[in-house]
């Protein structure tokens, strides 16, 4: 079980401080910093279980060949490479290391991007993805990419196993278009029929199809489609965007439920003063009453009216509704 802290390995104190500050202030995520490989090694030896992810500069005062990436991976901690090296060969790290992403140091936005990505990975730990692919190597490759993003992954080798695993209600399905016992678009349609939850995301993948195949998959209930071979960066970004969408819809649903509870409570609270006003008005309509009784009923109506006015003001207060 991983912790909920971040290890920042960066010799530029201004950058490590900016990342640490934004993580804390924006996302309430705590971080430790190391200015070189030796400091990182000491922190990992003492507290490796505290970290679920690390940001790593490839060039440090005591190493300049990416040894820090290898170090954090040895502790089974995925890394975000944060580098000033605009070198295409950096992409090879996706294949040879457990990387979440690599980000070039291009200014303030790159820091915002890293912090948002770290927050996404933390939330992904509660997110389950079903990968359906009859190719063992393809399944393992996708599983590695998704695990590095923090997702929980379940595998299935064909349509029959897919429908069985769907009973576990995963948050997302990555579905190969060509399976031994069915076509991906047919399986997608079956999933939508049996599990009509619109929040469920279904992404198709294929190495044999074309853009017409993608369009047909989308028309049968798919949310996205990628043709192999795909860029791993593009793949994980699309998956994380789908996860963002799921979280946003769930948050909106929770807000709607809270709003309905609030309105229900307000409606309940309005019944009492309305009952009092109704009772008092009936008494007044029956005819002459002693002055003290008449005055008492008027005060009851005024008090109940004032109470209702306060409740209605709360209901009409846009900030309160939000």
Give tens-digit pLDDT for 147-185: 999 999 999 999 999 999 999 999 999 999 999 999 999
318 pLDDT band, cuts 50/70/90, is: low
DSSP letters along 107-133, please? SHHHHHHHHHHHHHHHHHTT-EEEEE-
CA 90 to chain centre: 27
Residues 119 and 10 in one domain: yes
Residues 113 and 21 in one domain: yes
CA 217 to chain centre: 25
Instruction: Choose the weakest-confidence range: 106-115, 235-244, 274-283.
Output: 274-283
Residues 145 and 185 in one domain: yes
The parent domain of residue 183 ranges over: 127-230
Tell me if 241 is assigned to some domain.
no
Residues 15 and 118 in one domain: yes
Please tell me which of 125-134, 246-255, 285-294 the model is most confident about, judged by mean pLDDT. 125-134
Tell me if 237 is assigned to some domain.
no
Cα-only R_g, the chain: 29
Tell me if 253 is assigned to some domain.
no
271 pLDDT band, cuts 50/70/90, is: confident
The CA distance from 185 to 220, in Å, is 6
Tell me if 75 is assigned to some domain.
yes
Tell me if 34 is assigned to some domain.
yes
The CA distance from 67 to 71, in Å, is 6
Tell me if 239 is assigned to some domain.
no
Choose between 276 and 222: higher pLDDT. 222
Residues 9 and 118 in one domain: yes
Closest CA to 58 of 50, 67, 49: 67
pLDDT at 268 over 80: no
125 pLDDT band, cuts 50/70/90, is: very high
pLDDT at 73 over 60: yes
Structurally, the chain folds into a number of domains equal to 3
Q: How far is CA 212 from CA 84, 100, 222, 228, in A?
A: 40, 31, 14, 14
pTM of the shown model: 0.81
pLDDT at 240 over 90: yes
């Amino acid at each position: 079980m991983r912790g909920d802290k971040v290890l920042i390995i960066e010799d530029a104190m201004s950058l490590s401080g900016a990342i640490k500050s934004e993580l804390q202030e924006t996302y309430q995520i705590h971080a430790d910093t190391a200015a070189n490989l030796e400091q990182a090694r000491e922190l990992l030896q003492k507290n490796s279980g505290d970290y679920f992810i690390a940001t790593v500069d490839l060039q440090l005062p005591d190493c300049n060949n990416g040894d820090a990436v290898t170090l954090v991976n040895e502790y089974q901690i995925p890394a975000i490479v944060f580098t000033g090296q605009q070198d295409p060969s950096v992409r090879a790290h996706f294949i040879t290391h457990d990387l979440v992403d690599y980000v070039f140091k291009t200014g303030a936005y790159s820091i915002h991007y890293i912090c948002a990505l770290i927050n996404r990975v933390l939330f992904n730990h509660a997110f389950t993805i079903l990968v359906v692919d009859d190719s063992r190597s393809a399944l393992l490759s996708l599983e590695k990419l998704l695990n590095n993003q923090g997702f929980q992954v379940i595998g299935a080798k064909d349509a029959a196993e897919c429908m069985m695993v769907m009973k576990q209600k995963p948050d997302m399905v990555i579905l190969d278009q060509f399976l031994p016992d069915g076509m991906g678009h047919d399986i997608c349609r079956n999933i939508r029929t049996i599990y009509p939850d619109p929040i469920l995301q279904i992404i198709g993948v294929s190495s044999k199809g074309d853009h017409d195949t993608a369009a047909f998959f989308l028309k049968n209930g798919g949310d996205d489609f990628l043709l192999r071979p795909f860029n791993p960066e593009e793949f994980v970004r699309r998956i994380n965007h789908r996860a963002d969408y799921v979280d946003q819809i769930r948050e909106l649903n929770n807000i709607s439920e809270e709003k309905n509870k609030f309105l229900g409570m307000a409606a309940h609270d309005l019944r009492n003063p309305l009952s009092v006003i109704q009772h008092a008005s009936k008494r007044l309509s029956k005819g002459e009453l002693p002055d003290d009784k008449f005055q008492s009923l008027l005060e009851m109506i005024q008090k109940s009216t004032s109470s209702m006015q306060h409740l209605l003001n709360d209901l009409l207060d846009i900030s309160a509704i939000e």
